[in-house]
Amino acid sequence: MNSPTPANARIGIIGAGPGGLTCARILQQHGIPVTVYDRDPDADSRDQGGSLDLHEEDGQLALREAGLLEEFFALARFEGQEMRRMDAAGRVLAHHLPDEGERVSPEIDRGQLRDLLLRSLAPGTVQWGRTLESVSGPADRPRTLTFSDGTAAEVDLVIGADGAFSRVRAAVSPATPRYVGVSFLEAWFDDMDNAHPELSELVGRGSAHAADGERGLFAQRNSGGHMRVYIMRRVPVDWIAANGLRPKDTEGIRAHLLREYAAWSPRLRQMISDNDGAYVDRPLFALPVPHTWEHSSSVTLLGDAAHLMPPLGVGVNLAMLDAGELALALVHSSTIDDAVRSYEKSMLPRSAETARMLEHGAEFLVAVPDPDDIEPLDHAQH
């Protein structure tokens, strides 16, 4: 079968996250029709997660191509580039304060970024409540998307932007994510300046990280006076049940954590004891390195669906870079097949190289900092 031209193809993107929506936005800017399918019932059905830092060389590059960079800057928190590195005693080992006008990696809430991208799309682009069950059909033919509500759609190209546990991935790869041995427990804090003034002072306007070799804490300011803390530990994936606890047993989990962090500074332990609401268990998974697949003219992947890695600040940036490159390949290629080949020729080596660098990156999150890697404290903090 001859591969269709992008302008005449039925393109379906699975997943309305930053990667999928960025790809859709750029395609629509160039007159290429696209439909995005997402399992959420609507755009506001769940919390979208914490803060993201978008880098000049990838995330911001994709937003520039999408014509949304200035709108991003209007929403971004440049003060969120502040970063403090501490030890378990609460001593500040390194402190970065952004320079005036610094735009290297400003922060934005994930929900705000998603809303920005959604507003930029033509009405009806995203079909909500469409949970993908499977992708079927031969590699060189149109694919059938089957959804959990019993409906189906036929597309010439399916783009898997559906995250860590992608349903699209199975159409081109047998790989499945594996637990990396480090787990996050997410804690939320509200009205920081009034309800949590000591933590507000400790963390500053951006983020703070401390670790002792087995466990760590990463605090990150969000917009609206909120903060999220990620309690990071080397534990089995089933540690909650193994300790006789339940995910909603907030007090039991808190007592267990405070025993584990007993030697830590009382100020840092407030990140465990003073949270507003329940904890959220987030074990870390990664795909094998490198993750590649046989070319298909009708299926490709981007973001975590293609190259799930430890969360070290690259995930959303790579997803948006992938999205921009795939969209432009479709814009500038004569056939869908040519576009997918062009995109994967650059994306797969890039993602493999990054994945190799970050393969054991989860260990960094709980490691005691090497003195040689600690930069002098910024004079501005004094």
**pLDDT (tens digit per residue) in 289-343:** 999 999 999 999 999 999 999 888 789 999 999 999 999 999 999 999 999 999 9
233 and 147: one domain? Answer: no
193 and 215: one domain? Answer: yes
Tell me how far apart the alpha carbons of residues 148 and 138 are, in angstroms, rounded to a whole number: 21
195 and 161: one domain? Answer: no
- 259 annotated as a binding-site residue: no
- 64 annotated as a binding-site residue: no
- 191 annotated as a binding-site residue: no
Q: Containing domain of residue 149, as a range?
A: 6-80+103-176+287-360
192 and 157: one domain? Answer: no
146 and 125: one domain? Answer: yes
Asked whether residue 371 is assigned to any structural domain, the reply reads no
What pLDDT was estimated at residue 49? 78
17 and 165: one domain? Answer: yes
32 and 14: one domain? Answer: yes
- 53 annotated as a binding-site residue: yes
Listed in sequence order, the residues at least 6 apart from 322 whose beta carbon sits closer than 8 Å to its beta carbon are 19, 302, 303, 306, 343, 347, 351
Rounded to 5°, the CA angle 271-358-60 comes to 80
Asked whether residue 117 is assigned to any structural domain, the reply reads yes
294 and 257: one domain? Answer: no
310 and 345: one domain? Answer: yes
278 and 324: one domain? Answer: no
Asked whether residue 310 is assigned to any structural domain, the reply reads yes
Asked whether residue 381 is assigned to any structural domain, the reply reads no
Give the tokens for residue 163. Answer: 């995250």
Q: Which residues of the chain have pLDDT under 50?
A: 376-382
What pLDDT was estimated at residue 371? 60
What pLDDT was estimated at residue 370? 67
126 and 252: one domain? Answer: no
Q: What is the CATH number of the domain that holds 39?
A: 3.50.50.60
Tell me how far apart the alpha carbons of residues 166 and 148 are, in angstroms, rounded to a whole number: 15
Q: For residues 292 and 352, is the Cβ–Cβ distance under 8 A?
A: yes
Please tell me the pTM assigned to this model.
0.94
What pLDDT was estimated at residue 1? 66
- Domain tally, the chain: 2
DSSP three-state, residue 322: helix
